[in-house]
Structure 1
Amino acid sequence: MIGLIFGDTDFPKEILKTIKKRKIKYLIIDLSKSKKFKKDKKSYSVSIGQFGRIIKILKENKCKKVLFAGKVKKPNLSRLRLDLKGIYYIPRIIKASKLGDAAILKEIIKILAQNNIKTENSLIFNPELSLRRGNFSKIKPNKQDQLDIQKAIKTLNILRDYNFSQGVVVRDEKVISIEGKGGTKKMLERSRSKKFRNHGVLVKLPKKKQDLRIDLPTVGLNTLKQCKIAGLKGIVVKNKQHVFLDKNKCINFANKNKMFISVK
C-alpha cells in the first residue's frame, strides 16, 4: 500500500493510471484545490493543516511509504482547518511558507519521516516521463540558441536557495521573464513579442538544493503551445530532473513548428 499525496497539474493522473494498471494498492490524500480525485473511492479530501488525520489515514491503512505529485499551493494560513497535530506542527509550516511552496513540501516530508513514513521519488512508477540528455526534435539549438540557454542556466543558478522560480525566458542573451508566483503560463504571457517569431528559449530547471523526490519542473503540450504563442524557438530541461507529459505529442508539435526540445 502506498499513499499518494496529490496536488494539481496532470502529473498525478499519469501516476494513478500506472498504479491502477499494475494493480498496486493505494490511497489518495487529495490536496488539490479543486479536489479532483473526490470520485475515487480510495481518495480522502484533507486540509493541509490536518496532519493528525493525514497520519491516521496512512497508519490505519498500513502505508509506510508516500509519493508526492502535483502542485500544492501555499495555503491561506488564516483559513486552514487545523486538528491537534496541525496546531502542533503549524509553526513549522508557517516558517517554511515564507521560503516558498517547495519548502512547505520539504517540511511535510520531515513531519512524515518523524512518524516513520518514507517519501518515495515521484517518478518511481513513471520513469518514462523524464527524458535523458539529448535533442528530441528535428531542429537543434544553433549558436545563438546555445548562448541564450547558457544565459538562462546562469540566471537560474544565481537565484536564492528557496526561490520559487524554476523557469526563465531568454532572447538574444537578455532575460525577458523569470517565473513568478503565477507559474510558467504567466511568465510566457509576459514574454510574448510581436517583433520576434521562433526566437528565444524557455529553460526549466529544479530549484537550487531542491528535494528531487518532489516538485520537479513539469512541461507538456500546453507549455509548447504557450512557447509558440510567445514566439520562442525551444524548451530546455535538465537530464532526469523534470516531468515531461504528452512526450510524443510535444515532439510532433515541435517538429511541425520548427521548434526544439533539448535536455541538458
Structure 2
Amino acid sequence: MNTPLNRMSFHNSAVGILAGGGVLPGQVAQKIIAQGRSVFIIAFEGFAEEAVIRPFPHAYVRLGAAGQLLSLLRQNHCQDIVLIGPVRRPSLLDLRPDKEGAKILARLGKAFFRGDDGLLAALVNILAEEGFHVRGAHEFLHESVGRLGVMGKIVPDEVALHDIELGIKVIHALGKLDIGQACVVQSGVVLAVEAMEGTDKMIIRAGECRQPRPGGVLVKLAKPGQERRADMPTIGPRTIDNVVKAGLRGVGFEPGSTLFTDMQACIDLADQQNIFLYGIDL
C-alpha cells in the first residue's frame, strides 16, 4: 500500500478527475477551481471529450494503463479523486493492461466479471488502498442534483404515479442483480429494462414497444447499495429528447442521487414538451 499521499496538505493537493464521456468532468473541474483548488484530469482515451477537458491540465490515458494513471496522479499531487463520465467496460483482450494494471486486475479478481456496481465498488476500495480519497461528483455539483417532487410545470397523474411505483419495484429487483438503473413502464406494463446498452438505447427500444394508450414513464434510480461516489444515475437534455421521441409522459428519478447535466435545460425542454420531471419520495 502506498501512503505518502496521506501526509499531503489538503491545501497543497489537487483533485484528480478520472474522466469518461460527457460534460460532467468539465463541470466538476470548474466547481473545484471555484473553491480555490487545482485539478488534474486523467482523460480516458476513446471516451473523454476533447472540448470538455481542453481548458484544464490533463493527460490522456488508456483504460489498461493503470501504472501511468497512478503515476500521473501522484506527480500532480492529487489526493482527492473523482470518477465521472460514462466509460464502456472493455473486454480483457481490449484492455491490454500494463504491469500495474495486471496487478490491479489480480486484486479485482472476480469483481472484474461482476456487474458495473460490483466492479466500481472494488475499484474505489483499491484506490483507497493506494492512498487516494474518492469523492462523489455530487459533492461538488450540489445544484445539479435532482430535487424531491415536481421539477417544472407538469405534474404526474395517478396512472403515471402507479407506473412509477411499479418501476421502483422493477429497478430494485434488477439492482440486486447489478443489472441496470432504469426501466420504462406504461399503464402497468413493463416495456423495457436497462442492461448494457444504457438508458438512451433502452428508451428507444421502449418507444418501439409502446402500446396504443397513454404514454409511459421512464424510471431511473440508483441500485440498492450502489457506490454513489463512482456511478450516480445521470439525466441530460438528450435523455429528455429521447423520452419525447419515444412518446413517453415523463421521468421519475431518485432525488439526492441523480445528477442533471444541465438542469435548467432539462426543465425547460420538459415543460415545452409537456413532460414531467418528478423526484420520487422513496
Shared fold per TM-score greater than 0.5: yes
Residue from 10, 16, 19 that aligns with 1:3: 16
Residue in structure 1 matched with residue 74 of structure 2 by the alignment: 59
Alpha carbons of structure 1 residues 192 and 110: separation in structure 2 relative to 1, 3 Å: same
Cα distance per residue 1:31-73 (max 9 Å; x no partner): 2524424745621212222222222222222211101101122
Residue from 91, 112, 126 that aligns with 1:97: 112
Matched, 1:256 2:272: yes
What displacement does 1:129 show?
Answer: 0.5
Matched, 1:156 2:155: no
Cα distance per residue 1:102-156 (max 9 Å; x no partner): 3332222111111111101111221110022110122211111111000000111
* CA root-mean-square deviation: 2.0
Give the conservation status (yes or no) of the 8 Å contact 1:103–1:162: no
Residue in structure 2 matched with residue 216 of structure 1 by the alignment: 232
Whole-angstrom CA distance in 2 between matches of 1:262 and 1:92: 40
Whole-angstrom CA distance in 2 between matches of 1:41 and 1:249: 25
Residue in structure 2 matched with residue 207 of structure 1 by the alignment: 223
Whole-angstrom CA distance in 1 between matches of 2:263 and 2:225: 27
Cα distance per residue 1:4-46 (max 9 Å; x no partner): 0111122212212333444521111112524424745621212
Structure with the largest fraction of helix: 2
Give the conservation status (yes or no) of the 8 Å contact 2:44–2:63: yes
Residue in structure 1 matched with residue 11 of structure 2 by the alignment: none
Alpha carbons of structure 1 residues 11 and 108: separation in structure 2 relative to 1, 3 Å: same
Amino acid across the alignment from 2:178: N
Corresponding pairs, count: 264
What displacement does 1:232 show?
Answer: 0.5
Whole-angstrom CA distance in 2 between matches of 1:94 and 1:48: 17
Whole-angstrom CA distance in 1 between matches of 2:236 and 2:34: 22
Give the conservation status (yes or no) of the 8 Å contact 2:216–2:247: yes
Q: Which structure 1 segments of 5+ residues have no match?
A: none
Residue in structure 2 matched with residue 17 of structure 1 by the alignment: 30
Residue 123 of structure 1: SS of its match in structure 2? helix
Residue 162 of structure 2: SS of its match in structure 1? helix
Moved more, 18-27 or 203-212: 18-27
Cα distance per residue 1:227-255 (max 9 Å; x no partner): 01111100011110010122112212222
Give the conservation status (yes or no) of the 8 Å contact 1:196–1:231: no
Give the conservation status (yes or no) of the 8 Å contact 2:160–2:216: yes
Moved more, 177-186 or 167-176: 177-186
Residue 64 of structure 1: SS of its match in structure 2? strand
TM-score, structure 1 as length reference: 0.92
Residue 226 of structure 1: SS of its match in structure 2? helix
What displacement does 1:183 show?
Answer: 0.6
Moved more, 105-114 or 94-103: 94-103
How many percent of aligned residue pairs carry the same amino acid?
29
Residue from 102, 125, 132 that aligns with 1:117: 132
Give the conservation status (yes or no) of the 8 Å contact 2:215–2:249: yes
Residue in structure 1 matched with residue 92 of structure 2 by the alignment: 77
Give the conservation status (yes or no) of the 8 Å contact 1:102–1:210: yes
Give the conservation status (yes or no) of the 8 Å contact 1:224–1:250: yes
Matched, 1:130 2:145: yes
Whole-angstrom CA distance in 2 between matches of 1:223 and 1:32: 24
Q: Which structure 2 segments of 5+ residues have no match?
A: 1-13
Whole-angstrom CA distance in 1 between matches of 2:55 and 2:109: 31
Give the conservation status (yes or no) of the 8 Å contact 1:162–1:208: no
Residue in structure 2 matched with residue 42 of structure 1 by the alignment: 57
Amino acid across the alignment from 1:212: R
Moved more, 219-228 or 9-18: 9-18
Give the conservation status (yes or no) of the 8 Å contact 2:22–2:49: no
